[in-house]
Amino acid sequence: PRSRKAGPSPGRWNEITKYFRAGMPLRKHRQHFKKHGSCFTASEAVDWLHEVLRSNSNFGPDVTRQQTVQLLRKFLKNHVIEDVKGRWGSENLEDSGALYRFPSTSPVKPLPSSCPPKENLENFSRDKERLFKLPHLSRRTPKKHELLRSLENLEKTKPDIIEENKEDTLPKKEISQEYVQETWRNIILIHLQTILGLPSLEEVLQPTQIVPEYVIYNMTNTSRHGVVILQNKSGPRNNDMSQPTYSGFERDVFRTVADYFLNLPEPLLTFEYYELFVNILDLLQPHLERIAVEALQICCLLLPPPNRRKIQLLMRMISRISENVDMPRLHDAMGTRSLMIQTFSRCVLFCAEEVDLDELLSTRLVSFLMDHQQEIFKVPTYLQVAVQDHIEHMKMAQCKYPKEEIGAILPTYSYCRQITPEEFEEQKVSTSQAAVAELLENIIKDKNLSVKDKKKKLKQFQKEYPLIYRNRFPTTETEAMLFENKPTIKQPMLSLRKPRFRSLRY
């Protein structure tokens, strides 16, 4: 267990408590022949707060009434509310007609001292600067100015280069494995810091929490469906396809799977990365959806391979069950989607210490993971390309030039020109289009695909990305050259209608 609670919890707690105090309707109530002014019943508070949470982008429509009751109990425990007799703390709250009121002052939890002002975060989010020269890592995450200072030092000294031949001309050099791992850590830290819009990741992720071996394994050892393949597989497995079916069979299977995941010793996203994933919750909004997916892509790569495999399979399973209209009802009083989210949210994310909004936050994250699981668990190849480019650059520079000249020839990396949000969006689109174009080239060059399968994949690609496909195959002739037969796409038929002539009148 950590010595402190999750970084973002005080901020969200203060926000929701202030909103509750400001918006909860108060009126007169009579109880036991006595009138009480400016108060509310527990059921009224549940009704109002439940609707607020469901419409809030940080929590979403999957919040249940029981979860709202749990949050109100925490309000009572922390003296955000009290009963009409002034009691709080040890009292319990039920969804009933019991009367409650606000105390004269509402407790506000102190924010972490390292939390930057909101204005600074907004400025940093607008300044989408990309750094690709890598600093030397310490045990803590460096701040932006420390990154730049380290960049200059790294240009002058390359401590991780191993010399094999110390001849004056063209010495052969190799990059140490330690330097490669450090490169992976820095690439990941820089991308996450930019995506999350934070001046420092010190409160969220430490460099030592990034294990390059896990990242590389998760990117390279996958099935054709993108699921991590383990060398020593563990977990519930049964390849017998002749399972008996009977009334209630689906419920029994669901209970078996749920029992397995709920009895795991820690959540699938691990206690270690709790704060990292909670910080991404701020991005789970419609206009930031693509950025949230990109952040989750990187963060899920950090997981130990068994955890990544389990959460991939779990998200695929509950997503398919929720979308299956033919699935028998698994719960008498709850819809299938709500049942999936409520059952598995705690085995996906929760803190080693009790956090006030823990259950609501995990519910919101699992809902988003379900809806975007295919995109989130795709391997972000741009990370691997960034690492390879940096390593190749270092090898070429060390081999071709004397040591004293390297600092002069290596490109200088510093703050990029500040760009507007519109320019950033354009660059993001162009990067995505380049990745899709690369996918098309991979389909074209895949020699293992039969002609039939290749045509099928190309047809599907053309349907999804017509502009990129047309750019690669501008005419049917260029497409026909790929298969050396007649074009698969017919040219539009020429209009055979006779032209109309106007009659000449005199």
Q: Output the pLDDT for position 401.
A: 53
In this structure, of 11-20, 169-178, 256-265, 314-323, the range with the lowest mean pLDDT score is 169-178
3-state secondary structure of 210: coil
pLDDT, greater one: 152 or 16: 16
Question: Cα–Cα distance between 143 and 77 in angstroms, integer?
Answer: 38
Q: Output the pLDDT for position 320.
A: 92
Predicted confidence (pLDDT) per residue in 18-32, tens digit: 888 888 999 999 887
Q: Output the pLDDT for position 317.
A: 93
Place of tokens 């999804």: 464
Predicted confidence (pLDDT) per residue in 183-228, tens digit: 899 899 988 888 888 778 888 899 999 999 999 999 999 998 889 9
Tokens matching residue 180: 């490669």
Going by C-alpha positions, the residue among 72, 95, 99, 94 that lies closest to residue 83 is 99
Cα dihedral sign, 194-196-202-208: negative
Q: Terminus-to-terminus CA distance in the chain, angstroms? A: 99
pLDDT, greater one: 444 or 259: 259
Q: Percentage of residues in the chain with pLDDT exceeding 70?
A: 68
Question: Cα–Cα distance between 258 and 405 in angstroms, integer?
Answer: 61
Listed ranges 128-132, 369-373, 412-416; the one with the highest mean pLDDT = 369-373
Residue-range domains of the chain with CATH = 9-101 (1.10.10.10), 118-234+248-376 (1.10.555), 436-492 (no CATH)
CA distances from 339 to 316, 318, 319 (A): 15, 10, 12
DSSP H helical ranges for 446-484:
451-464, 466-472, 476-483
Average pLDDT over residues 242-260: 81
Cβ neighbours for 83, distance < 8 A, ≥ 6 positions apart: 76, 91, 98, 99, 100, 101
Residue 169 has pLDDT above 50, yes or no: no
Question: Cα–Cα distance between 146 and 136 in angstroms, integer?
Answer: 10
Please report the DSSP string for 440-451 in residue order.
HHHHHH-TTS-H
Radius of gyration (C-alpha) of the chain in whole angstroms? 29
pLDDT, greater one: 412 or 45: 45
Question: Cα–Cα distance between 445 and 447 in angstroms, integer?
Answer: 6
What letter does residue 318 receive in the DSSP assignment? H
Q: Output the pLDDT for position 381.
A: 86
Q: Output the pLDDT for position 237.
A: 58
How buried is 412 (Cβ within 10 angstroms: 0-12 exposed, 13-18 middle, 19+ buried)? exposed
pLDDT, greater one: 355 or 393: 393
Average pLDDT over residues 48-77: 86
Q: Would you tell me how many other CB atoms lie within 10 Å of the CB of residue 63?
A: 26
Predicted confidence (pLDDT) per residue in 260-274, tens digit: 999 999 999 999 999
Q: How confident is the model at residue 286 (pLDDT cuts 50, 70, 90)?
A: confident
Q: What are phi and psi of 212, to 5 degrees?
A: -55, -35
Q: What are phi and psi of 138, to 5 degrees?
A: -105, -170
Question: Cα–Cα distance between 410 and 364 in angstroms, integer?
Answer: 46
Q: Output the pLDDT for position 305.
A: 95
How buried is 460 (Cβ within 10 angstroms: 0-12 exposed, 13-18 middle, 19+ buried)? exposed
Cβ neighbours for 268, distance < 8 A, ≥ 6 positions apart: 261, 303, 307, 310, 311, 314, 347, 348, 349
Question: Cα–Cα distance between 50 and 21 in angstroms, integer?
Answer: 14
Residue 240 has pLDDT above 70, yes or no: no
- What dihedral do alpha carbons 424, 60, 38, 74 form, nearest 10°? -100
Tokens matching residue 440: 């098309």
Tokens matching residue 438: 């690369």
pLDDT, greater one: 425 or 28: 28
Predicted confidence (pLDDT) per residue in 365-400, tens digit: 999 999 999 999 999 888 888 888 888 877 776 665
Place of tokens 């209209």: 325
pLDDT, greater one: 140 or 384: 384
Q: Output the pLDDT for position 136.
A: 38
Q: How confident is the model at residue 33 (pLDDT cuts 50, 70, 90)?
A: confident
Q: Output the pLDDT for position 356.
A: 65
Cα dihedral sign, 29-31-35-37: negative
Place of tokens 């929490």: 209
Question: Cα–Cα distance between 69 and 73 in angstroms, integer?
Answer: 6
Q: Output the pLDDT for position 173.
A: 57
Q: At what angle do helices 381-400 and 212-220 cross, to 10 degrees?
A: 120
* Mean of per-residue pLDDT scores for the chain: 75
- What dihedral do alpha carbons 437, 441, 446, 450 form, nearest 10°? 80
